[in-house]
Structure formats: structure tokens, C-alpha cells
Structure 1
Amino acid sequence: MNKNFWKQKKVFIPIGIVIALVCIIIGFMIYYNSSTAAVSDEKDPIVFVVESGESSELVLNKLAEQDLIKNSFAAKLCMKFNGLSDIKAGNFSLNRSMSTKEILITLNDITKAKDDQIAITFKEGMWAKEVAQLIEDNMGISKETLLNLWNDDDYLRSLMGKYAFLSEDILNTNYKVKLEGYLFPETYMFKKDATAQEITETFLEHFNKIYLKYQGDIEASGYSVQEIITLASVVQYEAAKKSDMDMIAGVFYNRLQEGMMLQSSVTVCYALYDDLTSGEDCEVNTHIESPYNTYLHEGLPIGPILNPGEEAIHAVLNPKDNDYLYFVADVYGDGSVHYAKTLAEHEANVDKYNLRK
């Protein structure tokens, strides 16, 4: 055996380890830099609320859920590497073009908290009167004042010159609330002394961003903005999951194309409005006379029945192609939706899941 073999071996082993370590370090740096980079180049402000007493881990998880950071584990490393664990409670304005480090620096700076503003979260599917009540509870502006403003034709006409998505269609005297459907669900920060008009236009400004995003799809759909938002509101009410929104939108289009009534019980819910006490009311009052009731009137209800989120709007503009005409949700079970092509199949689903009225 060559006497130099072991000498050569002793040299090769350390070099191999060094190379491996270098590769690991380079790989880690690539992962870390990629995972803590900005999520996108979108600069639209996003309200982020840190509640008093929340742990840093919970805050990082919330940032990830709101798609403000890519990776909560990498963010935790960033926080430790840069000494940014002293996160303050308050309302902060962030955006997705900020890196993880920039976001953490902001959350560690109490001067960046918007103490003169109130953050309010409006969930998908809220009725306008529920939105108004939430504003009253948090800001003191009466629900009645807001609802009167949202039904004020002169004010609404003044908005039409500013927002292309608003048209004379909303000035229907039979509407419960004429701005129903356009109070876009989101977390907003309002100045504590904001007026009812300023609050209203904050909603509409955000809706305008969604409208511009889908304007081409809306124009290509053959439906008006009002009709798209109306159908989206029904889909939002009917479905709990995005996948079901896509399918249910497809079912409703199939029914419209077949000349069938939509027969959506959620439109009955809105027809009942102040008289609604439970979900069962919607199932047993399909005879109620109302232009919102799709059991009595063909086509779409006369207007939106709630304020839909982006997923519902997207579903209506991009429905899942299917050949179903019926669906029913297992409301007493796991909430899954069961689809059928024929009335007989649908009734079998209703019996199977014990959903008979």
C-alpha cells in the first residue's frame, strides 16, 4: 500500500467537511434571505393589530395568516438575530412590500402605532345594518345615521362621479340598503373623529381596488357590476369554503341558463330581514312576498343580500364548470355540500343527510 495514502486521506476528510459546511451555510442563507424577503411589491396599506399581552409567536403567526410574511419560523430567526422581540401593542399600518425585518422594526417602534385611529374588522357576509352597528359600537356614530346616509340618493349620486362601479342601479326604492354589497369586508383603521362620509368612502376606496382588479372579467361576463355583486352575495351566504363557492356559482349559472328559479333559501333570509330569528326561518318562509325571494321571482334577487368578500366575487367571475342543478349543505354534520344533477338525486341527498324541512 502506498505510504502516502493515509496522509492524503487526512487531507481529504477535512476539505470534504469544510465544503459540506460551506454548502450548508450558503443553503441556509439562501433560505433565510428568501423567506424573510417581501411577500410582493404591493404597497397597499394593511391594518395589523397587536393586542396587549399577545406573545411574539402569536404575532408572527398572525403576520403569516395575513400574508404579510412568508414564513413564521424564518421570521422568528430574524427577530432573534436582530434583537426585535420587543413587539408593541397597537394598530400598525403595514404592506406586503416590506421585508420581515422592516415589519418587525415597525412593530418594535411604539411611535409607529396609530393611537389616534381605531381598527375595526368587518367579516365577509355581514349585512350593512351589522356593519353600521359595529361602527356605532366602536366609534359612536349611530347606526341610524349610517344607514340613512347609505340610502341617501343625493349622496349616492355624488359618489357615482367618483366611483365607476356605482351606477343608477343602486337607486332602487325597494332596496333595504342601497350600498349593500359595496361595504367591502376588511380590517380598516379609521381616525377617531372620522365622519360617516369618511368612513363610507374608506369602504368604497377598498372596493374600488377590487373592482379595478376584476374590471376586465366583469365587462367580459355580460353582467353588470350590480348583478355580479348580487350573485356573489348569494354565493357568499351559501358557501363556507372557496371550493364550494366555485361549485355553487357554477350551479347557479346552470340554473339561470336552464331558465330555472335560483330557489336560494338565503335570499329568503334577507327578505325576512328584521323578522329573521334563525336559519330555519329561511327554510320555512319560502312563500314570503319580496323581490329578494328567489323562490317567487325569476333570476337574481333585485340586489345584493350582504357584503361579499373577494373569494365570492372571484368565484362568480370564475365558476367551476359542472353539470349540477342542485346542492344541499349538511348543516347538521360537517357542513359539506352535496351536489345533484336531478331533483330525485337532490331529494335523496336531503333525506340521507336528514335535511328535510
Structure 2
Amino acid sequence: MNNYKKILLGLVLIGLVVMAVFAYQVYGTFFTANTNFETETYEILIPTDADYDVAFMAIAASVKDRDAFHETAVRKGYNANVKSGRFLLKQGMSNNDIINAVRSRNIPLNVRFNNQERLEDLAGRIATQIEADSTSLMEVMRDSTFLKKNGFTQENALSMYLPNQYEFYWNSSATTFRDRMFQGYKSFWNESRLKKAKKIELSPQQVSVLASIVHKETAKVDERPKVAGVYMNRLNTGMRLEADPTVIYSKKLLDGNFDQVIKRVLFKDLELDSRYNTYKYTGLPPGPIVSPDLSAIDAVLNYEKHDYFFFVADVQNFGYHKFAKNLAQHNANAAEYRRWIQAQNVKR
């Protein structure tokens, strides 16, 4: 009987040792720190419809012991339930923490854009920030059915995308991005702004077109209502807008090269045959020449009422302009500017 008790006690002790070893191994596998990066956080991007192999490779560089991570993933069922999205790991996380993070904590990011001259530029910019590629973005942005239904054309579709900072999930689709931008556009064009647009006899899209010119003419927010007032005076009296930024846009468009930098408009450029060239054609261009920021749009809606019809860069107050009520005064201001630009030896 005593021998039996000794054997039983021995088996119990062996069992306890085995359990202790197993518990230690499990703890080490699940709960020991297993990160392999020195920064405070590490970004993991797991594509839409990714399987476990793709997800594992996305995570692998961030962990020290890949086998331990894999074992944890299998034990916790992650290998059969991969989630797409953007996930942030923190230094010192255990395998258990990492699995919990990548299967349930899709972290949104801030998408930013401004100064986009074409939908192609916008699509390229957005494609660097979310999963959707530029091709899919262009496809939905130019969807003729969507544009017609919501009052846009191929030429003015850019006006729907208001420069700002927006929160998106990284794995947002191209359609999700476009539709979210349209909702933001409708929110921006509230009853108050729509009334102002109607009062100056412009549609929201036309306001954006004029705002894009104002945006390009001056970076000084406090000067934009005054510049907008000049263009409204010209529109209301049937004058051509004669805006240099539209000539620059026309040249880029006709050359098929929007990467070129044009600092000076030449007299020959004024004859470029493009509907965007406001020296050649009366009225507004068919679409914006850049995505105007919100201050430029509001500058048009709240343009300064005055008697100025002309303006030129002020060489004594850089960034601002000199305004004139008549051509004689403007010519004097323009001559001063030409002398300055020639002294700078700016050829193009």
C-alpha cells in the first residue's frame, strides 16, 4: 500500500512538473514581449481579401519569433479569420496582444489633399494614402452616370473634392472615398452658401471654378475677397476674365505636361486655343484649374464690392497685388512689374 502511495505521489509530482513546463511554454508563447522594432509604434497594412499567408508576411517583420507568433495565431483562430485594414502595434506587445490588435482594431487615418490641378493628380495623391489605387479612383471619379445624376460634368467633377483633412479607414474602396467626398460637398454647400451663390447668379460648380482662379492668383487669404471682386466686376460687365493662371493651365493641358513649372506668361501664350484660356474666351472656364481651398470658395461667395477691374503683383509688398480702377492706372502698375520681372531675368 505504501508503495502504491509513493507511485501515485510520484505521478502527481511528474504531472505537476509537466503542467508547469506547459504553462511556462504557453505563457512564453502568448504573453512574452515579441516585437522587433525600436519605434514606439509599427504600422501593419493588411489588404482587402488577404489570406493568412499575406497577413503573416505583413506582420512578420515586426516580430522577433515568427514561429511563436504563428503558434499563437493558430491557437487563437486568427489564421482562419484574417481582417483587412490598418493596424498599429506598440513596442513590447506580446503575441496575444498582436493578434488582438490585428483582428479587431482597424485604425483610421487622416487623408489630406490640396492644390490638385486635375482628377488624375487627386487620384494619385489619394492612392498614396489609402488602399484604392489611382486607376480605380479615376474610374469612379469619372463615372458618367454618377456625375450626371449629381449635376457634374467631366470638366467640373474636380469641384466636388474639397481640400481638407478627412478620416478614412486605410482599406476604404474607391467608391467609398468618392461617396464620402460627395457627402462632404453637400454638407459644405449648406443653405446659407447656396443662397449666396444664387444671389451672385452662379451655381456651386461655377463658384468653385472662379474660386480656383482666385486661389491661383493669390495665396493671401485676406486678399482673396478683393481679387474675387475684380473677377465678379468683369463677369458682370461682360469683360473677359483675362486671368494668367488660366493661360498657364491651358498650356499645360495642350502640352500634356502638368509637371512643367511656368513662372511667366508670354504674349504668344495668350492666343492658345483652349476653353480654359480666359484671354481668348469670355466667361468662366468649363472646370476648375485647381481644387480651390475653402477660403477661396468663401471669398467668391463673399467677394468685396469695389470699382477695381485690374490688378498686378505688387513688387514692393510681395504676395499682394496693386489694384486699379482704369486701364491707364493698371498700365502704370504693370510697367513697374515688367521692369522688376526683367531685372530678375525670369524667362519662363
Tell me the TM-score normalised to structure 1 length.
0.60
Q: CA deviation at 1:138?
A: 2.1
1:275 aligns with one of 257, 263, 269: 257
Give the direction of change, closer, same or farther, for the CA distance of 1:224–1:119 in structure 2 (3 Å limit). Answer: same
| 1:346 and 2:325 are equivalent in the alignment | no
Give the direction of change, closer, same or farther, for the CA distance of 1:281–1:140 in structure 2 (3 Å limit). Answer: farther
Give the direction of change, closer, same or farther, for the CA distance of 1:194–1:151 in structure 2 (3 Å limit). Answer: same
Q: CA deviation at 1:283?
A: 4.6
Tell me what 1:190 maps to. Answer: 168
Letter in 1 for 2:123: A
Q: CA deviation at 1:339?
A: 0.8
The 3-state SS of whatever aligns with 1:121 is strand
Is the 1:128–1:306 contact (alpha carbons within 8 Å) kept by the matching residues of 2? no
How many angstroms apart in 2 are the aligned matches of 1:317 and 1:304?
A: 16
Tell me what 1:215 maps to. Answer: 194
Tell me what 1:230 maps to. Answer: 209
Tell me what 2:35 maps to. Answer: none
Tell me what 2:281 maps to. Answer: 297
Larger C-alpha radius of gyration, 1 or 2?
2
Equivalent residue runs for 1:58-77 within 5 Å:
none
Is the 1:125–1:237 contact (alpha carbons within 8 Å) kept by the matching residues of 2? no
Letter in 1 for 2:247: V
Give the direction of change, closer, same or farther, for the CA distance of 1:220–1:255 in structure 2 (3 Å limit). Answer: closer
| 1:171 and 2:150 are equivalent in the alignment | no
The 3-state SS of whatever aligns with 2:270 is coil
How many angstroms apart in 2 are the aligned matches of 1:319 and 1:125?
A: 23
Letter in 2 for 1:201: D
Tell me what 2:218 maps to. Answer: 239
Letter in 2 for 1:186: N
How many angstroms apart in 1 are the aligned matches of 2:231 and 2:135?
A: 34
Is the 1:232–1:313 contact (alpha carbons within 8 Å) kept by the matching residues of 2? yes
The 3-state SS of whatever aligns with 1:139 is coil
How many angstroms apart in 1 are the aligned matches of 2:171 and 2:323?
A: 49
Tell me what 2:122 maps to. Answer: 131
Q: Deviations over 1:179-209 (max 9, x none)?
A: 1111111111221211101011222221111
How many angstroms apart in 1 are the aligned matches of 2:261 and 2:316?
A: 14
Q: CA deviation at 1:266?
A: 0.9
Give the direction of change, closer, same or farther, for the CA distance of 1:305–1:137 in structure 2 (3 Å limit). Answer: same
| 1:199 and 2:177 are equivalent in the alignment | yes
Give the direction of change, closer, same or farther, for the CA distance of 1:203–1:279 in structure 2 (3 Å limit). Answer: same
Tell me what 2:239 maps to. Answer: 260
Letter in 1 for 2:138: L
The 3-state SS of whatever aligns with 1:237 is helix
How many angstroms apart in 2 are the aligned matches of 1:332 and 1:286?
A: 26
Is the 2:112–2:165 contact (alpha carbons within 8 Å) kept by the matching residues of 1? yes
Tell me what 1:122 maps to. Answer: 113
Is the 1:210–1:310 contact (alpha carbons within 8 Å) kept by the matching residues of 2? no
- Alignment size in residue pairs: 238
The 3-state SS of whatever aligns with 1:193 is coil
Cα-Cα RMSD: 3.0
The 3-state SS of whatever aligns with 1:295 is coil
Equivalent residue runs for 1:143-154 within 5 Å:
143-154=134-145
The 3-state SS of whatever aligns with 1:298 is coil
Equivalent residue runs for 1:73-92 within 5 Å:
none
Letter in 2 for 1:275: N
Is the 1:125–1:233 contact (alpha carbons within 8 Å) kept by the matching residues of 2? no
How many angstroms apart in 1 are the aligned matches of 2:244 and 2:230?
A: 15
The 3-state SS of whatever aligns with 2:111 is strand
* Structure 1 gap ranges (5+): 1-51, 54-89, 92-109, 161-165
Task: Provide the identity percentage.
Answer: 28
Give the direction of change, closer, same or farther, for the CA distance of 1:155–1:282 in structure 2 (3 Å limit). Answer: farther
How many angstroms apart in 2 are the aligned matches of 1:345 and 1:139?
A: 51
Is the 1:181–1:305 contact (alpha carbons within 8 Å) kept by the matching residues of 2? no
Tell me the TM-score normalised to structure 2 length.
0.61
The 3-state SS of whatever aligns with 2:307 is coil
Is the 1:117–1:191 contact (alpha carbons within 8 Å) kept by the matching residues of 2? yes
Q: CA deviation at 1:129?
A: 2.6
Letter in 1 for 2:295: E
